[in-house]
Amino acid sequence: MPIQYDKDTRLFHLSNDRVSYVLQLVETGVPAHVYWGRHVREGQLPELLRRVERNSSSPNPYPEDRSLSYDTLPLEYPAYGTSDFRHPAYQVQLPNGSTITEAVYRTHRIYAGKPQLQGLPATYVEHDGEAHTLELELFDETAGLAITLLYTIFEGHDAVTRSVRFANEGASELKLLRALSLGVDFRSSDYEMLHLAGTWANERQVQRRRLTPGLQSIGSSRGSSSHIHNPFVALVRDGADEDHGDVYGFSFVYSGNFVAQVEVEQYGTARVTMGINPFDFSWLLEPGETFQTPEAVMVYSADGLGGMSRTYHRLYRTRLCRGEFRDKSRPILVNNWEATYFDFNADKIEAIAKAGSELGIELFVLDDGWFGRRNDDTSSLGDWVVDRAKLPGGLEELVDRVRALDMQFGLWFEPEMVSPDSDLYRQHPDWCLHVPDRRRTEGRGQLILDFSRTEVADTVYAMVSDILRSAPITYVKWDMNRNMSEIGSAALPPQRQRETAHRYMLGLYRVLEQLITEFPHILFESCSGGGGRFDPGMLHYMPQTWTSDNTDAVSRLKIQYGTSMVYPISAMGAHVSEIPNHQVHRNASLETRGLVAMSGNFGYELDLTKFTEQEKTIVRAQVEQYKALRPLTQFGDFYRLLSPFEGNEAAWMFVSEDGSEAAAFFFRVLAVPNPPLSWLRLKGLLPEANYVLVGEDRVFGGDHLMYAGLQVPELRGDYQGHMWHFKRV
């Protein structure tokens, strides 16, 4: 049984063949954290929880034994106020104003399978045998509050998921001030914290820093997971690297405000907590009500960062993403945004689609500007009615024209927004997030619709779904281009205003669920000014995300490398765009732009009608090559070889699950005078197998490629790349 409970020692052991996660109830009934890491046998587990008497600054809740102190004990879900002085995982205000709780063991349930989290995105199983769950129920008598800690361990993935359910079983109202999804107390702080930070057009840059005493914290209070910090941290044990050593990943399945922090305390331990950002959050829990936190996915890897990433990739690709596109090859697309911006008409669109079709591209995506009177970004969001001035025959006619070219048709929406200059806003000025008597701060000339209100979300859904029903649209890009300010809802009472941001997310998730249920044959891509909401929450509804508004190939090396820490390659939109690049004005060759984009979900975002014959020949070859590589890049295992954060070069590769096919990509950013000879050592191949280099008929041993390496050809000029495609012979 993958979850064992030992009645004598009151110890829970969650395990699969490779990983153990162990917790134990101490005398007071509070669960302590015992161990998490490589699989260990049952026998000596209780001895792993070491207790020593410290000093009087760490009081003892159990006077019979002074070695028991909440301040020094590694805890599973630390509370506030009863002598643990580190940051708690939760805090609740009682009717008497106090904010102290002590929830202790009441009961537990162990079962095969994994429960769904009502209204929230989460990983899932297809058969109960794929995972086992422990529900550990704690109870605070004084508050009448039940706190259920949910743990699921997967059989086939080295992942443990955690979330928490609060239930008010008392007669009075309670207020959650903090309700994080997990706490893990590591017994040492000999780790680096790795996280992904950035900004618009420069998302998910890998950051590493040694843990130091005190709090190291990342998060978002912008109403979305954000460009600035991704909801992910990893602890990398001293000495661990890309391929070796202990790495612990924490990824939060949520798209709104979050916090992820590590606190190193006086005895050198490190507490990781993660969950909804408690800043400007509270939640009233009436008697009989429950509150479910979002899920956090914890991955342990004994094989360094690469092992951690591959676990996240497989788990998220197969048991977080859903729908028919989860397992389907994604189409090569051309998007008109950087080609035309708002300045297009039906003929122009048809011309780009025709050029795309002739080059073998499979899907045309019409971006912003097709509705209302939207000739720039100052109007019309919320008026989801086709602009007949640009498209006189309506969408239907345009879709027909594009489909006649043997291209599928996709459409852009930004449904969560409203322009002050729109009919929707004029009719319903109170439908946006706002606070009475305060300015409504605009971002890109727009306000955010209050998706915490059912009638608002339903009206938007009706407009969007009418359009989707009106024509054979097979792809939707769901954009979201600003962060929240003046967060408040006209529909909530004063004591619930701090619930608005989370209620917004619940409203959004409800709409997305409805959307993918009604339109199972549409491929949805999420976007938030590029990668401002590249998170596991959105991936549960939409299996791919527009990685960044920065389409420059060189910038993308770092952005895509950083994104690959957690997210599967099949989730990353990557397009070839024109030069000089619109974001950084760099001129990378068409070949290099192609190789970088082929390392993600491939597409083009430029005016294909402007290509010369020579460029068309290159693009035709790229499209053909990507079609040959697509099953490998979208469904294979991903290995990082050289980090663009550590030097002038970047490299990565893909290996099919059975090891029979591989593709390696190498990039050098700046030319180096008289450079040393470079070799690239590959990973993940079968050492005993032989591989032919496609197109060259040269055969290499897997051992040769991994241990001796592959010669990097001479590359001339800046921003160069090379790709090798191997097949087992």
Q: How far is the CB of 311 from ligand DGJ (least distance, A)?
A: 29
Does 479 participate in catalysis according to the annotation? yes
Q: How far is the CB of 548 from ligand DGJ (least distance, A)?
A: 8
Q: How far is the CB of 480 from ligand DGJ (least distance, A)?
A: 9
479 contributes a contact to ligand DGJ by CB under 6 A: yes
Q: Hey, what's the torsion of the CAs at 244, 250, 252, 253, to 10 degrees? A: 50
529 contributes a contact to ligand DGJ by CB under 6 A: yes
CB atoms under 10 Å from CB of 690, counted, come to 16
Of 82-90, 263-271, 527-535, 699-707: span binding ligand DGJ (CB under 6 A):
527-535
Burial 194-203, CB ≥16 within 10 A → b, else e? bbbbbebbbb
Q: How far is the CB of 59 from ligand DGJ (least distance, A)?
A: 53
Q: How far is the CB of 560 from ligand DGJ (least distance, A)?
A: 16
139 contributes a contact to ligand DGJ by CB under 6 A: no
- Mapped onto helix, strand or coil, the DSSP state of residue 396 is helix
Lookup: tokens for 286: 């009436």
Of 97-105, 357-365, 524-532, 576-584: span binding ligand DGJ (CB under 6 A):
524-532
- Give me the amino acid identity at 719: Y
Which of 301, 297, 195, 309 has the alpha carbon at shortest distance from 240? 301
Lookup: tokens for 647: 């030097």
Cβ neighbours of residue 317 closer than 8 Å, sequence gap 6 or more: 326, 568, 570, 571, 635
Among 78, 530, 536, 636, binds ligand DGJ (CB under 6 A): 530
Does 552 participate in catalysis according to the annotation? no
Which of 64, 461, 76 has the alpha carbon at shortest distance from 271? 76
Q: Which is nearer to ligand DGJ, 546 or 639 (CB)?
A: 546
Angstrom distance (rounded) from CA 561 to CA 181: 27
Residue 623: HSE in the Cβ half-sphere, 13 Å Cα cutoff: 21
Q: Identify whether the C-beta of residue 633 lies closer than 8 Å to the C-beta of residue 700.
A: no
Q: What are phi and psi of 278, to 5 degrees?
A: -70, -15
578 contributes a contact to ligand DGJ by CB under 6 A: no
Q: Which is nearer to ligand DGJ, 223 or 529 (CB)?
A: 529
Beta bridge partners of 418: 447
Of 418-426, 455-463, 525-533, 633-641: span binding ligand DGJ (CB under 6 A):
525-533
Size of the site for ligand DGJ (CB under 6 A): 11
Q: Which is nearer to ligand DGJ, 337 or 509 (CB)?
A: 337
Residues 74-113 as x/- pattern, contact with ligand DGJ by CB under 6 A? ----------------------------------------
Q: How far is the CB of 573 from ligand DGJ (least distance, A)?
A: 9
Q: Which is nearer to ligand DGJ, 318 or 577 (CB)?
A: 577
- Mapped onto helix, strand or coil, the DSSP state of residue 66 is coil
416 contributes a contact to ligand DGJ by CB under 6 A: no
Q: Which is nearer to ligand DGJ, 527 or 588 (CB)?
A: 527
Cβ neighbours of residue 564 closer than 8 Å, sequence gap 6 or more: 309, 313, 572, 638, 640, 652
Catalytic residue among 71, 549, 552, 637: 549
Q: How far is the CB of 470 from ligand DGJ (least distance, A)?
A: 21
Among 21, 546, 666, 724, binds ligand DGJ (CB under 6 A): 546
Q: How far is the CB of 616 from ligand DGJ (least distance, A)?
A: 24
Query: What is the DSSP code string of 539-560?
Result: HTT-SEEE--S---HHHHHHHH
**Which residue do the tokens 């197109």 mark?**
695
Q: How far is the CB of 576 from ligand DGJ (least distance, A)?
A: 14
Catalytic residue among 368, 479, 535, 552: 479
Q: Identify whether the C-beta of residue 159 lies closer than 8 Å to the C-beta of residue 2.
A: no
412 contributes a contact to ligand DGJ by CB under 6 A: yes
384 contributes a contact to ligand DGJ by CB under 6 A: no
Q: How far is the CB of 367 from ligand DGJ (least distance, A)?
A: 5
First-to-last CA distance in the chain? 41
Among 71, 185, 242, 368, binds ligand DGJ (CB under 6 A): 368
Q: Which is nearer to ligand DGJ, 412 or 726 (CB)?
A: 412
Q: Identify whether the C-beta of residue 512 lies closer than 8 Å to the C-beta of residue 498.
A: no
Q: Which is nearer to ligand DGJ, 260 or 339 (CB)?
A: 339
527 contributes a contact to ligand DGJ by CB under 6 A: yes
Angstrom distance (rounded) from CA 31 to CA 257: 27
337 contributes a contact to ligand DGJ by CB under 6 A: yes
Q: Go through the chain and tell me how many residues it has.
A: 729
Which of 369, 391, 393 has the alpha carbon at shortest distance from 379? 369
Cβ neighbours of residue 2 closer than 8 Å, sequence gap 6 or more: 14, 15, 16, 132, 153, 155
Which of 119, 106, 224 has the alpha carbon at shortest distance from 484? 224
Residues 208-267 that bind ligand DGJ (CB under 6 A): none
Query: What is the DSSP code string of 152-217?
Result: EEESSSSEEEEEEEEEE-SSS-EEEEEEEEEEEEES---EEEEEEEEETTEEEEEEEEE--SEEEE
Of 523-531, 610-618, 629-637, 721-729: span binding ligand DGJ (CB under 6 A):
523-531
Q: Which is nearer to ligand DGJ, 301 or 551 (CB)?
A: 551
Q: Which is nearer to ligand DGJ, 283 or 541 (CB)?
A: 541
Of 135-143, 228-236, 495-503, 526-534: span binding ligand DGJ (CB under 6 A):
526-534
Q: How far is the CB of 446 from ligand DGJ (least distance, A)?
A: 10
**Residue, CB closest to ligand DGJ:** 368
Binding site for ligand DGJ (CB under 6 A): 337, 367-368, 412, 479, 481, 527, 529-530, 546, 549
Catalytically annotated residues: 479, 549
